[in-house]
Structure 1
Amino acid sequence: MSGPVTSIPPNALKAALRENRRQIGLWSSLCSNVVAEVLAYAGYDWIVVDTEHAPSDTVDVLSQLQGLATGSAEPVVRVAWNDAVLMKRLLDIGARSLLVPFVQSAEEAKAAVAATRYPPHGIRGVSVSHRANRFGRVPNYLHTAQEQICVLVQMETRTALAALEDIAAVDGIDGVFIGPSDLAADFGHLGNAAHPEVQAAIADACARAKAVGKPIGILAPVEADARRYFEMGFTYVAIGSDVGILSAGSTNLVARMREAIGEPKIRVAV
């Protein structure tokens, strides 16, 4: 007869980034616990549960974390903003790897870290019984929680890239992450992350992150781009999304069948 669960497993993503081991990820924006559970067994190292550009609230995230719990991937919750209240609620329901968008400076990076630490090291609000500490069953959780919390910050503008070394040097930042779409927009190339100017900035950021020993990640929905980013030196790369898989797979399947039975292809309105 087994006893109560009184510990939490190590954060495999945090450990892998510390050891500079490449990690393959996927973006999840469909806000579904069923989709999360399907993805959990696919073999990814990390899966982003998005709340910035997906309509997930805290209850939705909770159900997705439950769906991912039995798989091998570390859930990474992208918070809607660098907000201590949002982060506190996500941490309490069991998120322990957070991706914080639009971090522009070392000061903003410090604020993100502080939101994940209990006093005196930060400002995380204290609850003694929640899902993250197995509802009060994990001894000394308040003093050890930060050891398994992974803080990743998104750099999405030229201002952020200029401060890369300062942001990377902040104690508690486990990795930096390039947001290619917003970066392209900031460079004046909205919707064109493949523009040479944007790609040159991404390559420069990768080289600079490597020079200071900080893991750097990126989202790359195109497989060829993902391969190139890994070769470039990126440590963790999201190689697609659940939306992209469903959209492309469903469109291509019906197109192939229409071709097979001799029907004309249907033009899809966008």
Structure 2
Amino acid sequence: MTSSLEATLRERLTSADRALVGGWVCSGSPVMAEIMAGSGLDWILVDMEHAPNGLESVLAQLHAASAYDVTPVVRVPVGDAVTIKQVLDLGAQNLLVPMVSSPEQAREVVACTQYPPTGVRGVGSALARSGRWNRVPGYLAEAAEHVALFVQIETADGVERAEEIAAVEGVDGVFVGPSDLAASMGRIGQQTHPEVVDAVHRAFAGVRAAGKPVGVNAFDPQAARAYLEAGASWILVGADVALVARGAEKLAADFIPAEPRDEQNTQE
């Protein structure tokens, strides 16, 4: 019996004739993951860094997304060997590792995704969904072909070394995070500040100079379109929890009468 694996995000980016548009899944819910997966988006990001996700919930979301023509990416909370090994064994083929600010960090992360002798990934595919319990012929020898690794630049130091980071062998692309980047620049909460946008563009230039695809997170529609025009190959434009929050607020505003003003208080 044999089983095939899905195309990686690396392969989809290589063959795409336009930027790939994605949505964040931060709820930890497989139902929300399935809703996002079936929406028509190109890819979804299952987040373990800023969301209530553990191994079991990530697995459930990968199962939910598997029925749809969408590419799931899992963002691990940290680029350590144990976490990466466990998430890969779940069958995640596309990883995003946050807070990579140097080529040295990038090389360490690459090693975590590859089996010896080139890496340090623990061998357990016969027991795991990654190799479909030994149903994928030659998985151990060809595992690197089934895994796509992307690193996230989120600091001013990372921007300055973007080309070096992207050039590391085994890094398939770079994703820029304007929120943490803004914070590292002393502009917390100001993702669209001109200085922050300029830093994102400099990161874009460095990554492209290394010949790798570059992506970015941009929930503001105007910013998202501007980054697409600036050459982003893949982009996040919204999140499940934010969509629900704004939708629920609109329902409340549409159907609940505004509180009457207290004339006495307004005159004091």
Give the TM-score range, shorter chain: over 0.9
Report if the CA contact (8 A) 1:23-1:46 is conserved.
yes
1:152-193 C-alpha deviation (Å, 9 max, x unpaired): 101111111111111111011111111111100010011111
Task: Please give the per-residue CA displacement for 1:121-160, whole angstroms capped at 9, x wherever unaligned.
Answer: 1111001221111112111110112102111101111111
> C-alpha deviations, 1:55-100, integer Å up to 9, x for none?
1111111111111111111111000001110000000011110000
Give the CA deviation at 1:235: 0.6
Report how many aligned residue pairs link the two structures. Answer: 258
Where 1:153 maps in the other structure, the secondary structure is: strand
If the length of structure 1 is used for normalisation, what is the TM-score? 0.92
Q: CA deviation at 1:40?
A: 1.4
1:264 alignment partner, one of 241, 258, 265: 258
- The whole-number CA distance in structure 2 between the counterparts of 1:150 and 1:162 is 24
Percent pairwise identity? 43
What is the CA RMSD across the aligned residues, in angstroms?
1.5
Does the 8 Å CA contact 2:164/2:210 hold for their aligned counterparts? no
The alignment status of 1:126 with 2:123, answered yes or no, reads yes
Conserved 8 A contact 2:159-2:202: no
What are the equivalent positions in structure 2 for 1:187-226 lying under 5 Å apart?
Answer: 187-226=185-224
Q: Are positions 1:97 and 2:94 aligned together?
A: yes
| AA matched with 2:207 | A
Alignment partner of 1:240: what SS?
strand
Return 5+ residue gaps in structure 1 as ranges: none
Matches within 5 A, 1:1-270: 4-11=1-8, 13-19=9-15, 21-127=18-124, 128-258=126-256, 263-264=257-258
| Structure 2: distance between partners of 1:161 and 1:205 | 5
Distance 2:10 2:253 in 1: 42
Structure 2: how far apart are the matches of 1:175 and 1:82? 15
- Once residues 19 and 265 of structure 1 are traced to their aligned partners in structure 2, the CA distance between those partners, rounded to angstroms, is 54
1:8 to partner: Cα distance: 1.5
Q: Deviations over 1:94-117 (max 9, x none)?
A: 111000000011111011111111
Name the CA distance, whole Å, in 2 between partners of 1:167 and 1:209: 8
Question: Unpaired segments of 5 or more residues in structure 2?
Answer: 261-268
Helix, strand or coil: the match of 1:104? coil
